[in-house]
Each structure stands twice: as structure tokens, then as C-alpha cells.
Amino acid sequence: MLFHESGCEHCHGANARGTQRGPDLSSVGRRLSKEQIEHQIHEGGKQMPAFGDALEPAQIDDLAAFLQTKRAAVSKTGRSTR
């Protein structure tokens, strides 16, 4: 619910499947640690804006914990197979 309410779906799509605005995060938990995900949300980077001023630390922690569970199998093309 927080992923939706925080506007993450706007760029990353429903269930973190990705859009033209943001990458597919359905396997981000395989690639990044919870701490790396928290850092990305807080500080931004690449094309993602920082959300450290917009979200409470507990919200960032909750979003990172949710995204850490995203471990869909990845195909040879690097895309989620889900």
C-alpha cells in the first residue's frame, strides 16, 4: 500500500513491474541489499529523484523491506520472467 500511496507506482508501475518512466523492480531484491535500496530511495540517483525529504525514515525502511522481497527470476535478457 505504501508503494502505491508514496507515488512509486507512478514511475515503477503496479507491483513494481516498470514503465517508460522507471525500471522494473520485480527482482531488485536479488540485485541490491536493503541498505542499498534505502540509500537509493533517500538520496536518489541516476534518473530517480531523492525522497529523503518527502518520506519519513520509517516509510523508507518499509519501502526498502518491501522491495527487498522482490526476487523474481530474471531471464538472460535481464528482464523479469514474471
What letter represents residue 68's amino acid?
A: Q
Q: What is the pLDDT of residue 75?
A: 54
pLDDT of 12 above 60? yes
**Domain containing residue 14: CATH number:** 1.10.760.10
The answer to whether 8 touches 63, Cβ cutoff 8 Å, is yes
Q: How many CB atoms lie within 10 A of CB 15?
A: 15
| Interior angle at CA 29, CA 49 and CA 22, nearest 5 | 35
Instruction: Tell me whether residue 12 is exposed, middle or buried, using C-beta atoms within 10 angstroms of its C-beta: 0 to 12, 13 to 18, 19 or more.
Output: buried
What domain range includes position 64?
2-68
In a domain, 35, yes or no: yes
In a domain, 76, yes or no: no
Q: What is the pLDDT of residues 46-55, one digit of tens each?
A: 899 999 999 9
In a domain, 82, yes or no: no
In a domain, 47, yes or no: yes
In a domain, 77, yes or no: no
pTM value? 0.82
Number of domains in the chain: 1
In a domain, 22, yes or no: yes
